[in-house]
């Protein structure tokens, strides 16, 4: 389980506006560009580029007008392939090394406020991991949850929950939910050998439960049907 506070603390040293909420959807922020690039471009290319490294420039101007040119190196590695020194990344000399999983978590956290702006304009920005299966269905899913199961959250919360629950390590994020993660994992492993698929689903549930997330079997069935 990642300590998001440490991960964010180190990243913000090189990308200060990461900790600043954008005023509106058009606010320019380097951290916003980072989040979009990781989730929609670099991430989806991972399946074709494992064991490679991508560099993302973190360029910003400080209060005194000085230009800082920092770098985030994103390593396309997971699990046992991750070196021990990358489990707790540190910013040093303008550089930080992150696994793609760590980059995902930072990006998903940054997207929270941006999702609020999008939903206010009638758009429901899902990440590539889930948009194929749920694209266009968010309003319908939300109405079912709200009318039949008294879903206590707004539609922006639902979008954040789906996005954050769909990534490995998502249990570390505020809006992720174990029943959403379980349903999405079943869909993602539907063409795998049954034993392997069950191993993955059980593993996802275990990590979420360990992080203190509580499951709702009724809501799981609703999400699984979508």
Question: pTM of whole model > 0.85?
Answer: yes
For residues 13 and 70, state if they share a domain: yes
For residues 92 and 40, state if they share a domain: yes
3-class secondary structure, 191: coil
For residues 21 and 84, state if they share a domain: yes
Rounded Cα distance, 172 and 187, in Å: 21
Rounded Cα distance, 113 and 154, in Å: 14
| Residue pair 226/141 in contact by the 8 Å Cβ criterion | yes
- Kindly state whether residue 135 falls inside one of the protein's structural domains: yes
Structural domain that includes position 14:
4-107
Record the tokens describing residue 187, joined without a space: 């869909």
For residues 143 and 88, state if they share a domain: no
Number of domains in the chain: 2
Last residue of a domain, one of 80, 107, 134: 107
pLDDT 10s digits, 67-86: 999 999 999 988 777 888 88
The alpha-helical segments, DSSP class H, found in the chain are: 4-14, 30-37, 100-120, 128-134, 138-149, 155-165, 178-188, 194-210, 217-224
pLDDT 10s digits, 139-184: 999 999 999 888 999 999 999 999 999 999 999 999 999 999 999 9
């Amino acid at each position: 389980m990642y300590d998001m506070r440490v991960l964010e603390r180190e990243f913000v040293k090189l990308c200060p506006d990461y900790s600043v909420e954008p005023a509106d959807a058009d606010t320019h922020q380097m951290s916003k560009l980072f989040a979009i690039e990781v989730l929609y471009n670099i991430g989806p290319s991972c399946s074709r580029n494992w064991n490679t490294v991508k560099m993302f420039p973190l360029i910003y101007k400080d209060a005194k007008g000085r230009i800082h040119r920092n770098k985030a190196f994103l390593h396309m590695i997971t699990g046992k392939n991750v070196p021990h020194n990358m489990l707790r990344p540190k910013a040093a000399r303008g550089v930080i090394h992150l696994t793609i999983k760590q980059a995902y978590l930072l990006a998903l956290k940054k997207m929270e406020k941006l999702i609020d702006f999008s939903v206010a304009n009638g758009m429901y920005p899902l990440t590539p991991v889930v948009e194929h299966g749920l694209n266009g269905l968010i309003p319908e899913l939300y109405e079912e949850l709200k009318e039949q199961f008294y879903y206590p959250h707004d539609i922006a919360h639902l979008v954040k929950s789906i996005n954050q629950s769909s990534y490995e390590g998502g249990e570390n994020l505020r809006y992720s939910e174990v029943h959403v993660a379980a349903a999405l994992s079943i869909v993602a492993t539907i063409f795998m050998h049954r034993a392997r698929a069950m191993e993955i689903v059980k593993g996802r549930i275990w990590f979420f439960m360990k992080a203190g997330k509580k499951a709702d079997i009724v809501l799981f069935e609703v999400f699984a049907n979508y």
